[in-house]
A and B are shown apart, each in its own frame.
Chain A
Amino acid sequence: MKAFVHLLVCALTTTLMLSGGPLRADEATPTFKHRVTGLFSPDREQDLRSVLEQLPGITLQSLDYAHAEAVFQYDPAVVFKGTKPEDIVKRFDEKIRTASSSTFGIQSLYPAPHDKLQPVEIAVVGLDCKACSLAAYEAVAKIEGVAQATASFREGKVTALIDPARTNQAALEEALKKKQVSLPSTSKP
């Protein structure tokens, strides 16, 4: 019975989000789906949860790591009191940046549908260092047309979902080189 209710809530949430409006798990606290920057590796989910502990009134309901999208539950009237609805994402971004030393951010959902995005994988060489991975991630994530990205020097790759109409793999490789990331000559197209 409990599992059924959960499934029902999830289905309802997804349906409402696709329509672009706020989701209401219950009447008291609505949920919202946003794009999260800084999710460059799976273990960043735990980092995100730790950061959110510093933001009272906001909880993480679910996380789609593959698309860097998350559903948050908060009451805008309480957490972002006095903020115009169109500025809430911006205010949320400021809050989470402050709490995470600018390693996480909040953005509106990427405008293109998931099936229009193209995956890219670039082989990279570097130190097995989380902060170095953040640096490589940020080099590509900030490029216009990049909807989602990951970076792992342990695995030796940077991946991205790109909007082919707005960017391409060469642009990502150029950004990585500019960041002093070493690229072996075997990057996959």
Chain B
Amino acid sequence: MRSNLPLCLLAGIILPASLPAAAPAPLGAFLESHCHECHDADVRKGDLDLTALAMDFNHPETFARWVKVFDRVQSGEMPPAKKARPPQQEMEGAQHWLREQLLTADRTRLQNLSRTGVRRLTRSEYENTVRDLFDMPGIALAGELPADGSAHGFDKNSDALDISHVNLAKYLEAADHTLDLAIATRPEPPTVQKRRISLANRGGFVAHIIMNGDGVLLKDKKPDPDFPPAGEQAHLDQGAHERMGSFTNGSSVGLFRHEDESVSPYFMEHVTIYPGLYRLRTSLWSFQWDKGVVLPAPGTGAARLSVVQLTGDGRGGQHPSYVLGYYDAPSMDSQVHELTTWLNHNEIIGFNPASLAPVAIYSRKGRAMAFTGPGIAVDWLEVEGPIHSQWPPAAHQVLFDNLPLTEWLPAEHDGQRAPARKKIRQIGAGMNRPDADKGLWTVSSKNPLRDADRLLARFLPKAFRRPVEPEVCQEYLARVEARLQAGDSFEAAMRYAYQAALCSPDFVYLLEPPGPLDDFAIASRLSYFLWNSRPDERLQELASKGQLRRPEVLREEVERLIQSPRFQRFVEDFTGQWLKLRSIAANDPDKKLYPEFSTYLQDSMVGETRSYFHELIKSNLDAGHLVKSDFAMLNQKLATHYGIPGVTGTQMRKVPLPADCPRGGFLTQAAILKITANGTTTSPVPRGAFVMARLMGQPPDPPPPNTPAVEPDVRGASTIREQLDKHRHDSSCASCHARIDPPGFALEAFDVIGGFRSRYRSIVEGDNAPRGGIDPLIGISFKLGPAVDASGQLPDGRKFQDIREFQSLLASQKELLLRNLAQQLAIYATGRDVAFSDRPALEQIVQRTQNQGGGLRTLLHELVQSPLFQIR
């Protein structure tokens, strides 16, 4: 008895696996005839024994294995091409039976579940929501919130969006910061200050480097006669030059050196005191410097403006917080650029002469007087602001409507605490100054509780994105009343309630009813899908009228959202995750192998992929364009990198591709090629896996445990293909690599920064490399090693010789590409994975899209109109 019990338990555990329920006809016969030869207990090819795989579709792991079997058979991959094809009727019968079993099991599993879990806003959604709710389009919140997780490829999934006490603490801080900025505390707007400032500021680093030859001062497009370029001798004593006014005499600053680890130019004489909108104007031009002489530049240069958050001591944040844009600097012709942007407290404007080669003249013999090369000149930067179109600002009116601002006189508020104010502290070398203190001003109410009731009833539905029940409003009102009774001012009491609202589940979570979504839930789902933010007034109005579920209304709204500038948020957020653009800076390319790489090139890469995706939607192009097209979205930097002539300037534009050009589609875009490489070498395996998972919707299985990585040989002695060949001939690896490697082989035509190549670069062995399109000022030390072989064979037997042939093969599978994109969009839009039982709905989206020409904008419409989108 003692010995029998464990045996019984063991039998119970292994029974389902060792004694599977027999597969019923017609699947059983099919498996017996076409599968068991390779997938039985003896052979177990691909580690799969179908004779032992239980017909237990309720068991998640078993279910998943049967789904995989189904997919392999349906795609035609199995039975393999070298085996005899099963009769069509037999094949269809087996597939149909298995499909129905899987559908039934999955529907049963999900029938009592809300498919999309309750999920909180991602940090970018939170930030955008606050920005739009309060009309504060640049308030920075996301960076202070904990990073979001990711599930099924996106951070919008409830599986990934947990919440902890850290989140809650950060939400409190974010709400506090939001209300600090939103609430007006002065009777009139801050004085608009307009100041034209030089890049060579007093005490600034730019002045230091131009004194040592990394730049020059220029007047009338010539060297400033009062500030000769540094030569054998550098200028002495920056302080003496500052006191003599060398940097404040209206000279332009010409730089020869772009931003690097040691140099971060800023315009330091504006340090933002009052957050708000600011108008920035700057005047830029480029030139060719020849040992003291200013000559026309060979082409249009580029400069980057960015926003830099000063650190607490005012010394600068080194790297830009975010990029405002890249701007043209025409040869010898000052061009004025203007933009309006939001600046936060202590933010300054950074500058990078981005198109320059990485040169440092600072410590070279002869300095600027021995240098010949391009320069970027900035005449000035003009900062004007803060600009308020109304006062109190819109954000304040969201909270307090039209209640008056009055001065707080203690004598009039006996027993009340004055509202708290944070002292304005100015750091850094800003010449702008805070306004004189106008006393303590605050919003006032003659009937606080009645006003509080009115204001909350107005604010809460906006914040919670749906009607709010009276009892909920009463809860918030009770908080206000309690605070007033405790001695708070009206502003402080209201602030308490508003802070609670901004941290409440109604605000932080996307709350959807089970089953079909109501109008308000659709408004939110649609808005967070296409704007990554809260629904605007029109969407809420349509929802309140019950019109949003009408297909024609929904279609109009989708179009409206796509046309809006806010749609760019979707483009950036979706491509950031689907195509992993967020990882673009995960590694820095090896400087010896890829000396031409720069941040300007990297930013252009990202710009290309985003612009291209936007163009596919805007022009409603079909899914074949995901991998092949006759145009690209390029600027001068990227066009030069791709070897495409005739593109001038920093802005992305649609460029027709030459007939023999190996570019077109995401596959050949430098951003994708950089993201799928490691900075030093490329490998067909991660690149192939990326193509399968992200574009084909066939993510490969993870490698078996203890599989060693293939280390590419940067010495140039062997190619990655030669190294992989050994691996691919191992029978346990061959089946997966037959699917993964071909796309990766095709992409071997591109290096780690997306440059086209016919030979690998190497550090040690090989021939001297020609300069090609690389800037003459960039030193080249790499060699050209073995030739690239970008040919391959798809699992279905089709062969390709190069990337162009591979693109054509893949582009012919439009339905596959469209289905995958539909699935990625569905996951992103609904915040959940696409289950097996969702496949019919997904298929319907694909078919309806194809019936209308297969355009990607059509796909967005069909997804929004589908039950997948409209049912929780």
Interface residues of A (CB under 8 A from B): 100-103, 125-132, 134-136, 138, 179-182
- Chain B residue nearest to A153 in the complex (CB): B233
Mark contacts of B298-336 with chain A using CB atoms, 8 A cut-off: 1 yes-contact digit, 0 otherwise.
000000000000000000000000000000000000000
Q: 17 A-B contacts, Cβ less than 8 Å apart?
A: A101-B243, A103-B243, A125-B233, A126-B233, A126-B236, A127-B235, A130-B244, A131-B237, A132-B241, A134-B237, A134-B244, A135-B237, A135-B240, A136-B236, A179-B236, A179-B237, A182-B233
* B-chain residues with CB within 8 Å of residue A136 when the two chains form the complex: 236
Distance in angstroms from A153 CB to nearest chain B CB is: 8
Assembled-state Cα–Cα distance A126/B244 (Å): 17
Contact (A130, B226) CB under 8 Å given A103-B243, A135-B240: yes
Assembled-state Cα–Cα distance A128/B232 (Å): 12
Assembled-state Cα–Cα distance A136/B236 (Å): 8
Distance in angstroms from B639 CB to nearest chain A CB is: 41
Q: A125-B233, A131-B246 are in contact. List 18 more A-B contacts (CB 8 A).
A: A100-B243, A101-B242, A101-B245, A125-B232, A127-B234, A129-B227, A129-B228, A129-B241, A130-B226, A131-B237, A131-B240, A131-B241, A134-B240, A135-B236, A138-B237, A179-B236, A179-B237, A181-B236
Contact (Cβ within 8 A) A103 B231: no
Most B C-beta atoms less than 10 A away, residue of A125, A126, A128, A181: A126
* A-chain residues with CB within 8 Å of residue B241 when the two chains form the complex: 129, 131-132, 135
Contact (Cβ within 8 A) B237 A127: no
Contact (Cβ within 8 A) A131 B235: yes
Contact (Cβ within 8 A) A138 B240: yes
Contact (Cβ within 8 A) B235 A129: yes
* B-chain residues with CB within 8 Å of residue A180 when the two chains form the complex: 234, 236
Interchain pairs with CB closer than 8 A, number: 58
Interface residues of B (CB under 8 A from A): 226-228, 230-237, 240-246
Assembled-state Cα–Cα distance A82/B34 (Å): 111
Contact (Cβ within 8 A) B230 A127: yes
* B-chain residues with CB within 8 Å of residue A181 when the two chains form the complex: 236
* B-chain residues with CB within 8 Å of residue A132 when the two chains form the complex: 235-237, 240-241
* A-chain residues with CB within 8 Å of residue B245 when the two chains form the complex: 101
- Chain A residue nearest to B246 in the complex (CB): A131
Assembled-state Cα–Cα distance A140/B257 (Å): 34
Selected from A103, A127, A182, the residue in CB contact (under 8 A) with B244 is: A103
Distance in angstroms from B188 CB to nearest chain A CB is: 33
Contact (Cβ within 8 A) A128 B233: no
Most B C-beta atoms less than 10 A away, residue of A100, A101, A131, A181: A131
Contact (Cβ within 8 A) A127 B233: yes
Most B C-beta atoms less than 10 A away, residue of A127, A135, A180: A127
Assembled-state Cα–Cα distance A180/B227 (Å): 18
Contact (Cβ within 8 A) A131 B228: no
Distance in angstroms from A31 CB to nearest chain B CB is: 28
* B-chain residues with CB within 8 Å of residue A182 when the two chains form the complex: 233
* B-chain residues with CB within 8 Å of residue A135 when the two chains form the complex: 236-237, 240-241
Distance in angstroms from A82 CB to nearest chain B CB is: 27
- Chain B residue nearest to A180 in the complex (CB): B236
Distance in angstroms from A105 CB to nearest chain B CB is: 12
Assembled-state Cα–Cα distance A179/B230 (Å): 16
- Chain A residue nearest to B247 in the complex (CB): A131
* A-chain residues with CB within 8 Å of residue B230 when the two chains form the complex: 127
* A-chain residues with CB within 8 Å of residue B236 when the two chains form the complex: 126, 131-132, 135-136, 179-181
Selected from A100, A102, A127, A179, the residue in CB contact (under 8 A) with B228 is: A127
Assembled-state Cα–Cα distance A98/B241 (Å): 16
Distance in angstroms from B172 CB to nearest chain A CB is: 48
Assembled-state Cα–Cα distance A125/B232 (Å): 10
Distance in angstroms from A143 CB to nearest chain B CB is: 16
Distance in angstroms from A158 CB to nearest chain B CB is: 12
* Closest A-B pairs by Cβ, 5 of them: A135-B237, A135-B240, A131-B244, A135-B236, A131-B241
Distance in angstroms from B857 CB to nearest chain A CB is: 61
Assembled-state Cα–Cα distance A179/B234 (Å): 11
Assembled-state Cα–Cα distance A45/B240 (Å): 18
Distance in angstroms from A50 CB to nearest chain B CB is: 12
* A-chain residues with CB within 8 Å of residue B234 when the two chains form the complex: 127, 180
* B-chain residues with CB within 8 Å of residue A100 when the two chains form the complex: 243
* B-chain residues with CB within 8 Å of residue A138 when the two chains form the complex: 237, 240
- Chain A residue nearest to B226 in the complex (CB): A130
* B-chain residues with CB within 8 Å of residue A129 when the two chains form the complex: 226-228, 235, 241, 246
Distance in angstroms from B226 CB to nearest chain A CB is: 6
Distance in angstroms from A28 CB to nearest chain B CB is: 35
Distance in angstroms from A136 CB to nearest chain B CB is: 7
- Chain B residue nearest to A101 in the complex (CB): B243
Distance in angstroms from A112 CB to nearest chain B CB is: 28
Assembled-state Cα–Cα distance A12/B328 (Å): 67
* B-chain residues with CB within 8 Å of residue A128 when the two chains form the complex: 228
* B-chain residues with CB within 8 Å of residue A126 when the two chains form the complex: 233, 236
* A-chain residues with CB within 8 Å of residue B231 when the two chains form the complex: 127
* B-chain residues with CB within 8 Å of residue A125 when the two chains form the complex: 232-233
Distance in angstroms from A68 CB to nearest chain B CB is: 18
Assembled-state Cα–Cα distance A127/B228 (Å): 7
Distance in angstroms from B671 CB to nearest chain A CB is: 45
Assembled-state Cα–Cα distance A179/B244 (Å): 17
Distance in angstroms from A83 CB to nearest chain B CB is: 25
Distance in angstroms from A133 CB to nearest chain B CB is: 9
* B-chain residues with CB within 8 Å of residue A131 when the two chains form the complex: 227, 235-237, 240-241, 243-244, 246
Distance in angstroms from B128 CB to nearest chain A CB is: 47
- Chain A residue nearest to B243 in the complex (CB): A101
Assembled-state Cα–Cα distance A129/B224 (Å): 10
Distance in angstroms from B209 CB to nearest chain A CB is: 16
Assembled-state Cα–Cα distance A123/B501 (Å): 75
Assembled-state Cα–Cα distance A171/B240 (Å): 21
- Chain B residue nearest to A124 in the complex (CB): B233
Contact (A134, B243) CB under 8 Å given A128-B228, A129-B226: yes
Assembled-state Cα–Cα distance A100/B240 (Å): 12
Distance in angstroms from B370 CB to nearest chain A CB is: 14
* B-chain residues with CB within 8 Å of residue A102 when the two chains form the complex: 243
Assembled-state Cα–Cα distance A73/B313 (Å): 45
Assembled-state Cα–Cα distance A101/B244 (Å): 7
Distance in angstroms from A102 CB to nearest chain B CB is: 5
Assembled-state Cα–Cα distance A110/B541 (Å): 85
Distance in angstroms from A155 CB to nearest chain B CB is: 15
Assembled-state Cα–Cα distance A100/B241 (Å): 13
* B-chain residues with CB within 8 Å of residue A179 when the two chains form the complex: 236-237
Distance in angstroms from A104 CB to nearest chain B CB is: 10
Assembled-state Cα–Cα distance A180/B236 (Å): 7
Assembled-state Cα–Cα distance A171/B852 (Å): 89
Distance in angstroms from B49 CB to nearest chain A CB is: 80
Assembled-state Cα–Cα distance A100/B233 (Å): 27
Distance in angstroms from A21 CB to nearest chain B CB is: 34
- Chain B residue nearest to A126 in the complex (CB): B233
* A-chain residues with CB within 8 Å of residue B227 when the two chains form the complex: 129, 131
* B-chain residues with CB within 8 Å of residue A127 when the two chains form the complex: 228, 230-231, 233-235
Assembled-state Cα–Cα distance A126/B246 (Å): 16
